[in-house]
Amino acid sequence: MPSLRVLGVTVNDKLTAADQVATLQSSGTSLQYAMRVLRLHGTPPSSLHDIFHATVVSRIQYAAPAWSGMCSAADRAHLDSLLSHSKRLGSDDDVPVVADLFNTADDDFFHHVKTNSHHVLQPYLPDQTNILYQLRNHSHNITLVNKTKFLKDTDFIIRMLYKYSY
């Protein structure tokens, strides 16, 4: 079986996000067609913008911490092109970049994991350290694990621990 769909996220046998991005592109294309029809029938641009964010942007952000680390540069470019279509639909404000959407989703999820002691990922966080000196502000007091090449960007917890260690 080359791919498996788990809770709406497509995971392939190579552990890349290519299948998930292809799924998002195909659903985004059909949604764009529907939005063109709505625009032709006189739907205001602000409503089109809300519909675009409620459908396309929310689908990209859904479970993004689980699969965004496996996105290649080409996958991110495909998602950016999908997001740039909101300009063609008459949206006046800035179109979010997919990297910003991924960072926001990661930050929100990591904050939720850190602050909820009953979260299922809480045991996977390293032990907390008590540092008696304050050289600079840190957003967490968790011991950093050794970062390997494989764990560099694909693992959510490693990605977030090293993001907030600086």
Q: Which of 122, 152, 118 is nearest to 140 (CA)?
A: 122
- Segment 107-118, tens digit of pLDDT: 888 888 888 888
- Segment 1-12, tens digit of pLDDT: 587 787 888 877
10 bridge partner residues = 5
The number of residues in the chain equals: 166
Confidence label for 166 from pLDDT (cuts 50, 70 and 90) = very low
pLDDT at 146: 62
Q: Domain ranges in the chain?
A: 3-93, 103-163
Exposed, middle or buried: residue 28 (CB in 10 Å: 0-12, 13-18, 19+)? Answer: buried
What average pLDDT does the structure give for the chain? 76
Q: What angle is formed at CA 122 by the lines to CA 97 and CA 118, rounded to 5 degrees?
A: 110
Taking residues 15-39, what's their average pLDDT?
80
Q: Which of 127, 141, 57, 136 is nearest to 91 (CA)?
A: 57
Alpha carbon distance, N-terminus to C-terminus of the chain? 41
Which range scores top for mean pLDDT: 27-36, 72-81, 127-136, 147-156? 72-81
Residue 127: is its pLDDT beyond 80? no
